[in-house]
Structures are given as structure tokens and as C-alpha cells.
Amino acid sequence: MIISPPVAIDAACVAIQISRDDLAAGWAGLKSIRNLDGFIVTAPHKAGAGQLCDALDREGSYSGIANTVRRERDGSFTGTLLDGRGFVAGMKSAGHEVRGRRVYMAGSGGAGTALAFALADSGVQSLTIHNRTASRAEALIKQIQATFSECEVRLGTRNATGHDIVINATALGLKPDDGFSFEPETADPAALFAEVIMKPEYTPLLLAARARGHQVHSGVHMLDGQLEMMMGFFGLSRPAA
């Protein structure tokens, strides 16, 4: 089951479409369904889900955001945020190690927050965070520094020079005319470009980067990377292919 905003979902799942204003009422309805063991939450409901959960595990508690929720035996809902861990797992499965790398990331919303904590936890050498509203990036940087004091975290600009990996963790790229969250032409020639957007698989940013000779990593790997984690969180095993 997926809780999503009221838009069409192209997936093999049972989708429940709830508007942002109706999330609290919808949540109460979900709690009343006694044979509902858990569900997955999509944007823009992840922050709201984190607030409505009765408890959050380690990943969820870092940010107060949840994208996967399970019912406990006492009927309470526990949430976790697996986007960040899924992103790192997806990078590794594609042969891209993050440990010891210099990472630039644009975006400090739900996805950016999840990625920032997971990247710091995975031992990146440094993490530069840029956001259109600088105060949001600064707040996230303080959170990361308080939890991972050994990780070098700094505020960035639209210039991505001096990094091994550059990541778009914003929603820019869902539409062809969105523009870019940073200046891709400033990235080092050997930099890997990565996305969190899953559809289209190759966003305008990745297409532009590939045309300039960069390696690219699409957002679909973030979902693939967390499927096993989601199943484990629900106490299930993934069916054999």
C-alpha cells in the first residue's frame, strides 16, 4: 500500500490518494484498519507521516521524516526513512563507492535530509549542501554536525567545483523546463552525476551531464536499493525473482 498525493500512480500497488490537508484524517482511518500491517509513504507526505507516527526508528529519528510505516502489536505505528540508505545501497550496487568521496548535494528537503544523514553515516570525506533557501541548508548542516562530528559539512553555492559526486536531491527535473538546481558545467570533468528523481529515469540534468562526458546514476536505483530494507522493516522476505 502506498499513501500518495492525489495524482496518478503507475505501479503495481494499492494506492491510497490523500491530499496534504486530509493526511491527519486519513491517518486516523488507517489506524482503524486492524489488518493493515504497514504502508509506504510518498512525497509530499513524508514529513507529515513522521509527525503522525507514534515512534520513529534510528533513521527516522534523525530527521523526523518517514517513508515506511509498520503497525506494532499494540496497534501503534512506527516509521523509518529509507531513502538515504536506499540511495547509498543503490550507488554501491552500481559500483559507485561513497566512502572517502567529496560529495556535493543540491537540496535539503525530505530527500536531501535522508541522503545527508546516510552519506555522513557512510563515511564520505566531505559533504557540501546547497539549497535555494540557504537557511534550510544551514539548519540541516547543524543537524549533521551534531550527529556526525567527524564529517566535514559545509554550505555550498550553485558552483559544484571540487567534488567527486554531485547529486540533485530536489524536485527540479520532473518537468523538462524545470532548469537545474545547480550549475552542472562547474562540476569537475570526472564527477559522477546522481539523481533522486525516479521518473523520468534520465532527467534533463543527467542527459546534459552525459552529453558532457560524465558518468550518471539515475534515481531509480534509490528505490531498488531500499526494497530489501522495506521488506525487512515489515518483517518479510522479498520473493524470489
What pLDDT score does 5 carry? 58
Question: E strands, 6-101, where?
Answer: 15-17, 38-41, 55-56, 68-71, 77-80
Q: What average pLDDT does range 124-131 have in this prediction? A: 98
DSSP secondary structure code for residue 34 in this structure: T
End-to-end CA gap in the chain: 20
Contact 221/91 with Cβ under 8 angstroms? yes
Give per-residue pLDDT as tens, 216-240. 999 999 988 898 899 899 988 655 5
What pLDDT score does 3 carry? 58
Contact 198/225 with Cβ under 8 angstroms? no
Higher-confidence residue of 3 and 123: namely: 123
CATH superfamily entry for domain 2-81: Leucine Dehydrogenase, chain A, domain 1 (3.40.50.10860)
What pLDDT score does 239 carry? 52
Which part of the chain has CATH 3.40.50.720? 84-223
Which part of the chain has CATH 3.40.50.10860? 2-81
Please give the model's pTM, rounded to 2 decimal places: 0.86
Give per-residue pLDDT as tens, 32-61. 998 999 999 988 899 999 999 999 998 888
Q: What average pLDDT does range 95-110 have in this prediction? A: 96
What pLDDT score does 13 carry? 63
Contact 219/191 with Cβ under 8 angstroms? no
Q: Which of 46, 92, 142, 199 is catalytic?
A: 46
Task: Round to whole Å and give the CA distance between 212 and 52.
Answer: 44
What pLDDT score does 236 carry? 82
What pLDDT score does 44 carry? 84
CATH superfamily entry for domain 84-223: NAD(P)-binding Rossmann-like Domain (3.40.50.720)
Q: What average pLDDT does range 132-137 have in this prediction? A: 96
What pLDDT score does 110 carry? 85
* 175 counts as catalytic: no
Task: Round to whole Å and give the CA distance between 13 and 196.
Answer: 21
Give per-residue pLDDT as tens, 5-31. 554 444 446 888 999 899 999 999 999
Give per-residue pLDDT as tens, 170-221. 999 998 899 999 999 999 999 999 999 998 999 999 999 999 999 999 999 9
**Confidence band of 162 (pLDDT split at 50, 70, 90):** very high
Contact 2/42 with Cβ under 8 angstroms? yes
| Residue 105 identity | M
205: Cβ–Cβ under 8 A, 6 or more apart, which residues? 168, 172, 173, 180, 181, 184, 193, 195
Task: Round to whole Å and give the CA distance between 39 and 230.
Answer: 10
